[in-house]
Structure 1
């Protein structure tokens, strides 16, 4: 009786040891061959205004992850690896999406460019918290991430910096963002028309490509708005660039343009 009870137990223990040993061997082989690419994502990069630059593709995945952030209130969409693929701001139609890298020359010589993976497109309606649960959302996001037609930035580049007729800023806003004339005029007024991104301390780190920057004529930032430009992002020298009609100057801290900054809006 004693012998018949002990043998099966020893056999079970031996099989368990073999199974554990094989598991260790398999894990070691996987680690050696696949390296650091095989890991559980326990943390993700911080999200700033240009966080879409961390996304290297593919841009469409089986499942997305959603994260709520503030200043301004927004929903960030991440891929299953934690990379940011889209940013939706509450109350705004403009969306920053991950896409192929591209260059926007910002000097006549072409020596300075804004280079990045940010593409800006417009939602059918202003974003609201929880809108990712709508039936329309997933189809829209997949299509927008795959779209390579001219976006807001490319359209703004053509109208603002090209040889287009000298028309009013409100007309240009209407053309680029598809707004009515009335709303375009309201956007230029500092107290209406769009999500205000920064009214104090000129926090450029809160900006994202596609934002409208509004400037007053004097260094104190007082008086009526007389210049409106589209924020492109940082150039290869790290300077913030805003696209005006015929030029894309740097908004350098302490400079006249910086001093005249009134407000940034996301529409």
Structure 2
């Protein structure tokens, strides 16, 4: 997997010296990311699954010859490759131009009892491929070994890591003594003692300087342990999973700093471009996608970003983000429901989506 050229030594120690505990799970209804697929059902046999090795369909009542391997279907809007097993069930979805991969794996349930009674149960594990996908990349040299490993991988993925900064999350340090996970606040209280300040990037949470490809930055001491909305996304995808990061808001080979810049200049695929109107295209989404909002009023600019986590136990499309009222990362409903389809503040303010 490609590494962030600005990764510090403390992060290298983090990757090699820490064994992360997977979040304790409880059972509830299953979220199928196949809602994003044209078939509409991840477990239903594909009606147009390509025959393996040029073979013919078995006659009625005859034993079918074993398939030589997974099947690869091409779908559009966005262009993507869906990998299916011999029964036609979806194993993974790779999107052209994006590194995020939706893998099917064991069901997990995420809860946040302080802020919502809704739960998220999902069989989707969001991983990062070593490079952006392109049509036919299943024949690339890197694919076979990476895919075999990813199918069996139950190490923390995007969702597990995101929950390591939610309310009540346990703290953990790396061998160098760097606190790299634990309940994050949104930001320090402003001098007037009313609101909490933004501008808390992942390096502020960590309290370490960071060298990006385009600039070097030092942490703000007062923001130690804090993550604003875009800082949270950069912590999960960038610092923890090595997605390349930029220190500015310019276009370049990585995620920019602010929400509007991620939407406009970010890498990957603009699933839903910002037309400055409310979005209701829920079926375009796949767990792990970034969703963008205009909710603060004033300047008509995208001012909030979250990670789409799937359909919750109440049947709604739910996302996770860091926000002021909950004082940190949450998929709960304090200060506005974390839903895209209920007509609430964030639902009305949803403007765009990007798959990185």
**Separation in 1, partners of 2:141, 2:73:** 19
- 1:124 is matched with 130
Judge conservation of contact 2:292–2:353 (CA < 8 Å) in 1: yes
Distance 1:192 1:261 in 2: 18
Tell me which residue corresponds to 1:210.
288
Pair 169,250 (structure 1): closer, same or farther in 2 beyond 3 Å: closer
Indicate the residue corresponding to 1:54 in structure 2. Answer: 43
1:212 and 1:79 mapped to 2: Cα distance?
Answer: 28
Give the count of matched residue pairs: 216
Q: What CA distance in whole angstroms lies between the structure 2 residues aligned with 1:54 and 1:106?
A: 29
Contact 1:93–1:126 (8 Å) recurs in 2: yes
SS in 2 for 1:185: coil
Q: 2:256 aligns with which of 185, 190, 195?
A: 185
Whether contact under 8 Å (2:101, 2:128) holds in the other structure is yes
CA distance in 2, matches of 1:124, 1:238: 33
Counting only pairs closer than 5 Å after superposition, residues 96-135 of structure 1 correspond to structure 2 as 96-108=102-114, 111-135=117-141
In structure 2, the residue matched to 1:247 is 330
C-alpha separation between the residues in 2 aligned to 1:47 and 1:184?
A: 27
Q: 2: distance between equivalents of 1:89 and 1:191?
A: 19
Distance (Å, rounded) in 1 between the aligned partners of 2:166 and 2:246: 17
* Contact in 2 for aligned 1:234/1:240 (Cα 8 Å): yes
Contact 2:103 2:151 in 1 (8 A): yes
SS class of match (2:123):
strand
Structure 2 partner of 1:235: 312
Map of 1:22 onto structure 2: none
State which of 93, 98, 105 in structure 2 corresponds to 1:92.
98
Question: SS at 1:217's partner residue?
Answer: coil
5+ residue gaps, structure 2, are 1-32, 45-66, 170-182, 185-224, 239-243, 248-253, 323-328, 332-337
Aligned pairs for 1:151-170 within 5 A: 151-159=157-165, 162=169, 163-164=183-184, 165-170=225-230
Q: Rg: which structure is higher?
A: 1
Which residue of structure 2 aligns with residue 66 of structure 1? 72
Q: Give the TM-score, by structure 2 length.
A: 0.55
SS at match of 1:181: coil
Equivalent-residue separation in structure 2 for 1:251 and 1:107 (angstroms): 20
Residues 27-58 of structure 1 show CA distances to partners (whole Å, capped at 9, x for unaligned) of xxxxxxxxxxxxxxxxxxx9532768539xxx
Matched residue SS, 2:165: helix
Q: Structure 2: how far apart are the matches of 1:187 and 1:146?
A: 34
For residue 271 of structure 2, what is the aligned residue in structure 1? 197
Query: Partner of 1:54: helix, strand, or coil?
Result: coil
Match of 1:225 in 2: 302
Residue number in structure 1 paired with 2:196: none
Give the C-alpha shift of residue 154 in structure 1: 1.0
1:107 positional shift: 4.2
What RMSD, in angstroms, separates the aligned Cα atoms of the two structures?
A: 2.6
Cα distance in 2 between the residues matched to 1:169 and 1:52: 32
Are the counterparts in 1 of residues 96 and 134 from structure 2 also a CA contact under 8 Å?
yes
Of the structure 1 ranges 154-163 and 222-231, higher mean CA displacement relative to structure 2 is found in 154-163
CA contact (8 A) 1:102 1:116 kept: yes
CA distance in 1, matches of 2:346, 2:90: 31
